[in-house]
Amino acid sequence: MGHVITVAQQKGGSGKTTLAVNLAVEFLQRGQRVAILDTDPQGSLGRWFLARRDGVGVEGMEFSTASAWGVSYECEKLRKTNDIVIVDTPPKVDADLRPALREADLVLIPVASSHVDLWAVDGVLDLIAREGRAALVVLNRWKAGTRLADEVAQAAGDKAKVAVARLGNRVVYAETLGMGLGAMEAGRNPARAEVAALADEVLAALQG
């Protein structure tokens, strides 16, 4: 049975889909069978998948969509045929999010380098705690060396475990997303090491 990773954050624009697709491609490149499940009505994950299908192809990767209350059924089905199932969720925290959290072996919470993003974490963490699930805060669009970034990292660490690996504030993440690719597929660039390091941490958390 595969592992389910749910990506959740109530603030829009925090980079949930970026996180989901880059981990999906990284795991795929490691020989895992990967499914991505889009529960966000905006459908960004689905658009990325279609762009990938029309570009490099989607061998080894499965895509599905579900409304909030269809998540449990889809996850149960996808677990049987995939090593990793990654669930992208809408930017809100309410009862609709609970099925996606309940199914998760690990919840990833992307936080950009702003206090507004950090403030939005509380509601997600409350729900995760109620469901008794493990969570990992991932610092996204990271600007190294800025005081705000350091403050956000410190404050996030008071609320939940924070991943050591961070995704930098790099154009390549946005550019590749629109092309149906992961950042590591755009030649040699620093994003490749960032995503690989995060994937290592995620796998360690799943196995721990």
Kindly list the distances between the CA atom of residue 187 and the CA atoms of 121, 168, 200, in Å, as whole numbers in the listed order. Answer: 33, 17, 20
Question: For residue 137, what are the domain limits?
Answer: 3-207
Q: What is this structure's pTM?
A: 0.94
Q: How many domains does the chain have?
A: 1
Nearest to 165 by CA among 53, 13, 26: 26
Greater confidence, 158 or 46? 46
Q: What is the mean pLDDT of residues 139-161?
A: 78
pLDDT score for 150:
76
pLDDT score for 144:
75
Q: Kindly indicate the confidence band of residue 156, based on its pLDDT and cuts at 50, 70 and 90.
A: confident
CATH of the domain at 187: 3.40.50.300
Q: Kindly indicate the confidence band of residue 68, based on its pLDDT and cuts at 50, 70 and 90.
A: confident
pLDDT score for 116:
80
pLDDT score for 2:
96
Q: What is the pLDDT of residues 74-126, one digit of tens each?
A: 999 999 999 999 999 998 878 889 999 999 999 999 988 777 877 878 888 88
The dihedral formed by the CA atoms of 148, 197, 74 and 98, expressed in degrees to the nearest 10: -30
Greater confidence, 1 or 118? 1
Q: What is the mean pLDDT of residues 59-70?
A: 93
Q: Kindly indicate the confidence band of residue 23, based on its pLDDT and cuts at 50, 70 and 90.
A: very high
